[in-house]
Amino acid sequence: DAGITQSPRHKVTETGTPVTLRCHQTENHRYMYWYRQDPGHGLRLIHYSYGVKDTDKGEVSDGYSVSRSKTEDFLLTLESATSSQTSVYFCAISESGASTGELFFGEGSRLTVL
C-alpha cells in the first residue's frame, strides 16, 4: 500500500470555523492532490501540487486554500467552513502525474459542517 496518511479521518465542526486537513506521504512523490467526493458528483479536484510551494486550483477551489512547504505534506484549509463543504475529502499522490502515472489515494477524511 502507498504510504499516505490523512488526518483527521473524521471531524465535525460548526459553520464559520477554520478547518485544516493534512495529507502526509512517505513515497517522495512529486504530485499531490485534494479531491472531494459527493453523491452524484464523483470526485472533483479542489487543488493540486506539482512540487514544494507549487500549487494550482482545480474545478471546485472556492473556499479552500492549500499549502505545501515540504514534499511529504499537503495541507487543505477551509478558512471559514460552510455546510456545503460537508463532504469526504481524499488526498492522492502520483510520481509522474496523472497522464501516465497511477494516482494512489488515501482513505479519506469525512468532514461534517453543522
Instruction: State which of positions 40-69 bind other proteins (CB under 8 A).
Output: 40-45, 48, 50, 56, 58
24, 13 in Cβ contact below 8 A? Answer: no
| Integer Cα distance of 104 and 114 in angstroms | 30
Compose the 4-43 pattern: x for residues touching other proteins by CB under 8 A, - for all others: x--------------------------x-x-x----xxxx
Identify the sign of the CA torsion 33, 54, 27, 10: negative
Considering only 27, 71, 105, 112, the residue that binds other proteins (CB under 8 A) is 105
CA 73 to chain centre: 10
Q: Indicate the residue among 15 and 26 with the shorter CB distance to other proteins.
A: 26
* Run of H or E residues at 21: strand 19-25
Residues lying near other proteins in the complex (CB under 8 A) are found at: 4, 31, 33, 35, 40-45, 48, 50, 56, 58, 90, 92, 94, 96-100, 102-103, 105-108
